């Protein structure tokens, strides 16, 4: 079914009979039904499909983190939601090609949180049994208790863990029990970032290495 817009002389959006109507760059366009291409895909098309597959599977796995980490950026973008902005970041900045021209995830470039606050500095991370110990240099600007530290743990092929407000930014250190470390022996990439709980602002995340 099509929807007529701008009166009887306007364009239409949708399907009428065997044609489709839509608006492109401010102009109304009518086209016929697209038929599947019989041409074999090019190397570039195959590579793009592989990148999109990796992007889709990975972003879906860490969707709760991206939805939180990009929520304030999404408030500035009328076209994309938080998850879509996270997907765009991953496809544009995180997926790279190895020496054999195969796409892979460069986890060091992943930004799980984005925002205007200054990110943590001087970070040290270590694991003692199932206790994750974090330390950072307190920022004099963030001594109010509204500023918290967020933590994300990501294994690109298995699991993720996400903890909000694990400590005050002014503390400079914290110890966090991670139950999954008792159950599963996977490597996790660690990311932390500051969060202004009052204004709803984040810092960019900082990559802390693998534990």
Task: Supply the CATH number for residue 107's domain.
Answer: 2.60.40.10
DSSP-derived secondary structure letter, 91? I
Helix pair angle (82-89, 43-61), 10° resolution: 130
Give the C-alpha separation, 138 to 150, whole Å: 14
CA distance readout (Å), 194 to 32, 88, 145, 180, 198: 51, 22, 12, 23, 12
β-bridge partners, 32: 19
In a domain, 9, yes or no: no
Give the confidence band of 89 by pLDDT, cuts at 50, 70, 90: very high
Tokens of 190: 């660690």
In a domain, 204, yes or no: yes
- What pLDDT was estimated at residue 56? 96
In a domain, 97, yes or no: yes
Tokens of 159: 């699991």
- What pLDDT was estimated at residue 168? 97
Model confidence at 27: pLDDT above 90: no
Model confidence at 203: pLDDT above 70: yes
Give the confidence band of 39 by pLDDT, cuts at 50, 70, 90: confident
In a domain, 5, yes or no: no
Number of domain units in the chain: 1
Q: What is the domain extent for residue 160?
A: 43-210
The percentage of residues in the chain with a pLDDT greater than 90, rounded to a whole number, is 66
Task: Tell me if the pTM is above 0.85.
Answer: no
In a domain, 75, yes or no: yes
In a domain, 62, yes or no: yes
In a domain, 33, yes or no: no
């Amino acid at each position: 079914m099509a929807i007529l817009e701008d009166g009887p002389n306007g364009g239409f959006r949708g399907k009428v009979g065997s044609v489709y109507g839509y608006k492109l760059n401010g102009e109304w366009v009518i086209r016929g039904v697209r038929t599947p291409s019989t041409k074999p895909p090019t190397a570039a098309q195959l590579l793009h499909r592989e990148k999109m597959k990796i992007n889709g599977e990975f972003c879906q796995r860490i969707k709760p983190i991206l939805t939180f980490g990009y929520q304030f950026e999404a408030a500035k973008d009328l076209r994309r939601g938080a998850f879509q902005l996270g997907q765009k970041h991953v496809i544009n900045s995180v997926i790279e090609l190895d020496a054999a021209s195969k796409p892979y995830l460069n986890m060091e470039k992943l930004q799980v949180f984005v925002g205007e606050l200054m990110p943590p500095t001087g970070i040290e991370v270590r694991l003692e049994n199932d206790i994750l110990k974090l330390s950072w240099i307190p920022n004099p600007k963030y001594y109010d208790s509204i500023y918290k530290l967020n933590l994300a743990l990501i294994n690109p092929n298995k699991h993720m863990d996400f903890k909000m407000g694990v400590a005050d930014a002014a503390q400079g250190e914290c110890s966090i029990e991670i139950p999954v470390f008792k159950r599963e022996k996977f490597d996790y990439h660690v990311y932390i970032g500051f969060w202004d709980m009052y204004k709803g602002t984040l810092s960019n995340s900082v990559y802390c290495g693998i534990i």
